[in-house]
Amino acid sequence: MADIRPFCMPKWGIEMTEGTVAEWMVKEGEAFSRGQVICLIETDKITNEVEAEYDAVLKRVLVPASDQPQPVGALLGVFTDAATTDAEVDAFIAAFKPAETGVAAKAASAEAAAPAAPEPAPAAAAAAEPKKIVTNRAISPEALKLAEANGVDIEPIQGSGRGGRITHQDVVQAMRPERVLTPKGPAELPAETRAVYASPLAARLAAQYGIDLATLKGTGPRGRISKADVLGAVKPAVPEAAPAPAFGAPFVAVANAPVVQPFDKVRKVVARRLTEAKQTIPHFYLRVSARVDELVALRKTANVVMGTKASINDYLVKAVAMALVRHPDVNVQVAADAVHSFPHADVAIAVASPKGLVTPIVRQADRMHVAQIAATTRALIDKAQAGRLSFEDMDGGTFSISNLGMFGIEEFDAIINPPQGAILAVGGINRVAVETADGDIAFESQIKLSLSVDHRAIDGAAGAGFLQTLKALIEAPESLFG
């Protein structure tokens, strides 16, 4: 019987509904090995490398690389052994039905697609009942069920889920036998492999634009040169400036045709979500100014003492996180018919990236030291600018901060990032004149804060109390080290 397996659009996260095949790394009819990258799949804001879980042949490609998104579960290709005929593949495709995308459904479809195992011997037919596992470790129900059914010891397993939770995939990996590699002596790499490490699409674009790949620095995994690296090296043509008309000469209008730039996939998603948020969420706004003279001075001293380069925004992330813990009614996510409040603050920071506006998350910022927040935000910003943010980097969040102060913006209002209940817009620092207690005039540095709130879940008094606490933390910054 032919070993035929479907390759479907995977589902990463509960909110993913579709993905796009950006590039096939294996050609139709070509064999591949376990661990080899088969293709690149783009979601809303990230690109994932899909690695093979076993040795096989890519017998048929049903969805070529394009900008056309495919729904989760759609059949993208067919994997077989070398002996499978085209007629058998055609019959398999005709009978294929997309499965559900839950973890249990995936496990069931994988078992159904796997090659039939030989009938067990009569003595082995009477298998013992699965041994119940009693543990206090975080583990998903499907992972626990699989571990009990196969007698897997979960104690050595390192959970890859949030907070170290053991997932179904972790148990599947633990069940696989350890591969033993037998070295066969040094292997000489081809000259072109030693020279550059680039994707086929990047190589084609480099040839098209006449770019030497050896001059580029790859931003992909293991330094791999990607399409974005090549396009970033392409210098746009600069039109020649029209000669300035002589003084007194009659004005003559020239062509003013627009340059049409269609929305890319990421911009379409951002536009749709912002429109939905503004239309469906009842926003209201609270604004306050905070004195930051002491914070600016403390930051300068603390950076020298801690040996870090924490920014004002890093201190704001810490202050916001501490205020959210004290006001859990603001530290929320809003579902269709319920409000979810959290004990810790997962603060998302708005970052401009080549793929549009992204909001990576500083997890449990309330439990971090300012130096740890600075290191975390720097790493997230670097990943965002390189286009390497993962789903885990942006999934969830209980609150967002959007800071445009570095652009000289004094004050603005931000749109809430669902399912979060609020977002803080931060303006720049300005010197303003204030009246002292003696009736004199003095100058101080102030920063303007604007809180956008979802009125379905957060009342005005709750938002005002949060801002009052945040203002006090900013104006007494030594409390941020408590």
434-478 tens-digit pLDDT: 988 888 999 999 999 999 999 999 999 999 999 999 999 999 999
| Joined tokens for residue 25 | 């790394």
> Annotated catalytic sites, by residue?
455
Q: How many helices (H) and strands (E) does the chain have?
A: 14, 18
Distance CA 422, CA 102 (A): 31
Q: Would you state the pLDDT for residue 377?
A: 96
Percent of residues, the chain, with pLDDT higher than 90: 40
Mention every residue, 6+ apart, whose C-beta is less than 8 A from residue 199. 23, 25, 40, 220, 224, 225, 226, 227
Q: Which CATH class is domain 1-114?
A: mainly beta
The stretch 226-252 carries a mean pLDDT of 71
Residue 464: burial class (beta carbons within 10 Å; 0-12, 13-18, 19+): middle
* 127: confidence class by pLDDT, cuts 50, 70, 90: very low
Residue 362 and residue 380 in contact, taking contact as beta carbons nearer than 8 Å: yes
Residue 154: is its pLDDT beyond 70?
yes
Q: What is the overall mean pLDDT for the chain?
A: 82
Range list for CATH 2.40.50.100 in the chain = 1-114
317-335 tens-digit pLDDT: 999 999 999 999 999 999 8
Q: How many CB atoms lie within 10 A of CB 141?
A: 10
Range list for CATH 3.30.559.10 in the chain = 282-481
Pairing of strands 347-349, 399-403: parallel
Terminal alpha carbon distance of the chain: 68
Give bridge partners of residue 401 from the DSSP assignment: 349, 424
Check residue 418 and report its DSSP letter: T
Q: Would you state the pLDDT for residue 130?
A: 66
253-285 tens-digit pLDDT: 888 888 888 877 767 777 888 888 999 999 999
For the domain spanning 195-232, the CATH number is: 4.10.320.10
Residue 78: is its pLDDT beyond 50?
yes
Residue 42 and residue 19 in contact, taking contact as beta carbons nearer than 8 Å: yes
Q: Would you state the pLDDT for residue 44?
A: 66
The stretch 352-366 carries a mean pLDDT of 89
Distance CA 276, CA 40 (A): 29
Picking from 30, 28, 8, 2, the residue whose alpha carbon sits closest to that of residue 88 is 2
Considering only residues 395 and 134, tell me which one the structure prediction assigns the higher pLDDT: 395
293-304 tens-digit pLDDT: 999 999 999 999
Percent of residues, the chain, with pLDDT higher than 70: 82
Residue type for position 33: S
387-423 tens-digit pLDDT: 888 888 888 899 999 999 999 999 999 999 999 999 9
Distance CA 136, CA 372 (A): 29
The stretch 183-188 carries a mean pLDDT of 46
Considering only residues 54 and 224, tell me which one the structure prediction assigns the higher pLDDT: 54
Q: Would you state the pLDDT for residue 334?
A: 94
For the domain spanning 282-481, the CATH number is: 3.30.559.10
Distance CA 3, CA 1 (A): 7
Range list for CATH 4.10.320.10 in the chain = 139-175, 195-232
Residue 158: is its pLDDT beyond 90?
no
Distance CA 350, CA 407 (A): 14
* 110: confidence class by pLDDT, cuts 50, 70, 90: very low
Residue 245: is its pLDDT beyond 70?
no
For the domain spanning 139-175, the CATH number is: 4.10.320.10
Give bridge partners of residue 339 from the DSSP assignment: 334
Residue 13: is its pLDDT beyond 70?
no
